[in-house]
Amino acid sequence: MAERILVIEDEPTLARLLSYNLMQEGYETTVEGHGSDGLQAALRQSFDLILLDIMLPGMNGFEILTKLRQHGVRTPVIILTARNAEDEVVQGLRHGADDYMTKPFGVAELLARVAAVLRRSRSGEAAPAAEENVIRVGDLAIYPDKYEVTAGGEPVALRPKEFEVLLYLVQRPGVVVTRDDLMNVVWGFDYIGGQRTVDVHVSSLRKKLELSPQSVQIESIRGVGYKLVLPRREGVKH
């Protein structure tokens, strides 16, 4: 059964982006754009995770978080805060938030944090420890929670954005991904840099992966974007 995530975010474009990418990962989403509506949804229904913006109409995120905890709702919460708002982060964690993201953020990083919080929540309820999250393809081992990659057991030094590009492509083998998709997911929908940023990171990523003969390949699709090609007879293994 799909895990259910409540998104409480009043900025329509960001709310749609979050909902779309969460659903692409297999989650079921509910979106509320008003603070009071978000609180009622969280009290009325059962969710596995809540993404909670701080600045909301009607009732801010701190008030929502406080009321949820007062009502005994222990659902994990990731708060979304403004850049350089350290006081918001501290206040949110004190009110019972489990993690935070500062805007603007890349969707790949958010999805990794969502998966990590959900995994911690599940392991807290189950007796045995959860298995380490790893994606294996060719001789690559990709660890989303730790932002680490190994090739044939040897570490591959990737910058954070290179890792997020690789992770997004590996999760969509054989699918053509546009530069705009990568820009939105990895750098955030409001990133003001150009698509050249994507090309530079993909080029650097290719050079690092070429050191491993059994690694994946990233093909350029002229005028569109990129496609990840798996080694022959290989698949993505979780």
Q: Say which range, 125-129, 209-213, 218-222, has the weakest mean pLDDT.
A: 125-129
Break the chain into its structural domains and give their ranges.
Answer: 2-121, 155-227
User: Where on the phi/psi map is residue 84: left (φ > 0), alpha (ψ -120 to 50), or beta?
Assistant: left
- In angstroms, the CA 180 to CA 9 distance is 23
Question: Looking at the predicted structure, is the pLDDT value of residue 124 above 70?
Answer: no
SS3 178: strand
Report the predicted TM-score, pTM, of the whole model to 2 decimal places: 0.58
DSSP letter, residue 237: B
Report the percent of the chain where pLDDT is more than 90: 38
Strand order across the 140-143 sheet? 135-137, 140-143, 148-151, 154-156
* Cβ–Cβ < 8 Å for 190, 107: no
Tokens representing 222 are: 């002229």
Q: Which residue has the tokens 């090309």?
A: 199
Helix (H) or strand (E) run with residue 77 in it: strand 77-81
Q: Say which range, 67-71, 127-131, 145-149, 217-221, has the weakest mean pLDDT.
A: 127-131
Average pLDDT, integer, range 11-36: 94
Tokens representing 185 are: 């997911």
Choices 1.10.10.10, 3.40.190.170, 3.40.50.1240, 1.10.510.10: CATH for 155-227:
1.10.10.10
- pLDDT (0 to 100) of residue 29: 97
Q: Say which range, 6-20, 37-51, 73-87, 188-202, has the weakest mean pLDDT.
A: 188-202
Helix (H) or strand (E) run with residue 206 in it: helix 196-209
Choices 3.40.50.2000, 3.40.50.2300, 3.40.1280.10, 3.40.50.2020: CATH for 2-121:
3.40.50.2300
- In angstroms, the CA 232 to CA 234 distance is 5
- pLDDT (0 to 100) of residue 127: 33
